[in-house]
């Protein structure tokens, strides 16, 4: 196990080990998404309350989970980089930040599409929407800080510190936004949460979509990390040899 982790910590081994996983992961993700989306959008029965509108949650919920999960993973990578100076952790966190920001954006977009027919408006200052918006701001700050530095080493360390400060803060932010929302009642009265028990025809496709988006998210991160590895290791022997081999083929 330790050996395996140690190997993942080396850019060369990470690159080689992920090479083999790319194809199966893409297939699994593709199948999950296809089944989930076709079943969910095409065949699942309409909701007795919201009609067909609810179907956006097949994308909305997984992106929301992904956006938050990505931030925790970003902070974990930042901590690993700061404590053990594992270069791989930084390359991964560099790859995660934009993916997380996109998931946040998608979550907000699908949320507002759902909000229009449900609440009658594309945007309300609902606690969850607001928290997601602030999470997006945090992602943008981390991306902006990293791109402001010319030196990659300083950029890596500075954005790791910011990610750690951000993850400590993110819980306080969620709590404060919850509280703020109860202080300004009104908005939350509109939230039409469906507490009824959903039939399996509704939630099984949601599972497919959920795992599909997770697969997609892993795929993006792995692909982006591989690009970062190539860029970072472009002068090393193994990359040069690999490129020569591919040129020969």
Partner 1 sequence: MSRNDRLFHPILATLQRELLLGLRNPGAVLNPLFFFVIATSLFPLGGSANPEWLGSIAPGVIWVMALLSVMLSMESLFRNDFEDGSLEVLLLSPQPLYFHVLMKVVGHWLLSGLPIAVLSPLLAYMLALPTVGYYPLIYGLLLGTPTLSLIGAIGTALTVGIGRSGLLLAVIVLPLCIPVLVFGAGLVETALVGLPVRGIASVMGAMLVGAVIGAPLAISAALRISVN
Q: 38 or 83, CB closer to partner 1?
A: 83
Q: Which is nearer to partner 1, 88 or 160 (CB)?
A: 160
Q: How many CB atoms lie within 10 A of CB 66?
A: 25
Taking CB under 8 A as the criterion, the residue among 1, 5, 172, 197 binding partner 1 is 172
Is the Cβ of residue 74 or residue 239 nearer to partner 1 in the bound state?
Answer: 74
Single out the residue of 5, 20, 183, 197 in contact with partner 1 (rule: CB under 8 A).
Answer: 183
Distance of closest approach, residue 201 Cβ to partner 1, in angstroms: 40
Site for partner 1 in 75-94 (CB under 8 A): 82
Minimum CB separation of residue 190 from partner 1 in Å reads 20
Is residue 197 part of the contact set for partner 1 (CB under 8 A)?
no
Q: Which stretch binds partner 1 (CB under 8 A): 4-12, 91-99, 133-141, 220-228?
A: 133-141
Site for partner 1 in 137-166 (CB under 8 A): 137-138, 140-142, 144-145, 148-149, 153-154, 157-158, 161-162, 164-166
Cβ(40)–Cβ(58) below 8 Å? yes
**Smallest distance from partner 1 to CB 160, Å:** 9
Tell me the three-class secondary structure of the chain, residue by residue: CHHHHHHHCCHHHHHHHHHHHHHHHHHHHHHHHHHHHHHHHHHCCCECCCECHHHHHHHHHHHHHHHHHHHHHHHHHHHHHHHHCCHHHHHHHHHHHHHHHHHHHHHHHHHHHHHHHHHCCCCCCCHHHHHHHHHHHHHHHHHHHHHHCCCHHHHHHHHHHHHHHHHHHHHHHHHHHHHHHHHCCCHHHHCCCCCCCCCHHHHHHHHHHHHHHHHHHHHHHHHHHHHHHHHHCCCCHHHHHHHHHHHHC
Q: Are 45 and 201 in contact (CB under 8 A)?
A: yes
Q: Give the binding range for partner 1 (CB under 8 A) out of 51-59, 176-184, 194-202, 227-235.
A: 176-184
> With respect to partner 1, which residue has the nearer C-beta, 180 or 238?
180
Given 22, 168, 192, 227, the residue binding partner 1 (CB under 8 A): 168
Give the residues lining the site for partner 1 (CB under 8 A).
82, 134, 137-138, 140-142, 144-145, 148-149, 153-154, 157-158, 161-162, 164-166, 168-169, 172-173, 175-177, 179-180, 183
């Amino acid at each position: 196990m330790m050996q395996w982790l140690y190997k993942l910590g080396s850019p060369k081994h990470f690159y080689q080990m992920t090479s083999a996983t790319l194809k199966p992961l893409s297939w699994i993700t593709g199948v999950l998404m296809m089944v989930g989306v076709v079943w969910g959008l095409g065949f699942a029965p309409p909701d007795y309350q919201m009609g067909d509108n609810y179907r956006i949650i097949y994308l909305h919920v997984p992106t929301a989970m992904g956006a938050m999960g990505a931030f925790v993973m970003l902070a974990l990578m930042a901590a690993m980089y700061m404590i053990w100076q594992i270069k791989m952790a930084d390359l991964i966190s560099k790859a995660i930040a934009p993916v997380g920001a996109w998931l946040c954006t998608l979550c907000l977009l699908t949320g507002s599409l759902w909000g229009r027919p449900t609440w009658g408006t594309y945007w309300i200052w609902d606690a969850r929407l607001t928290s997601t918006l602030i999470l997006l701001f945090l992602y943008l700050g981390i991306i902006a800080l990293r791109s402001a530095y010319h030196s990659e080493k300083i950029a890596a360390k500075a954005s790791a510190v910011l990610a750690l400060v951000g993850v400590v803060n993110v819980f306080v932010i969620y709590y404060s936004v919850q509280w703020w929302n109860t202080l300004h009642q009104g908005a939350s009265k509109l939230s039409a949460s469906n507490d009824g028990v959903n039939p399996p025809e509704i939630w099984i496709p949601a599972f497919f979509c959920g795992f599909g988006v997770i697969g997609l998210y892993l795929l993006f991160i792995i692909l982006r990390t591989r690009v970062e590895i190539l860029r970072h290791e472009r002068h090393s022997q193994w990359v040069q040899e690999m490129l020569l081999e591919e040129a020969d083929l």
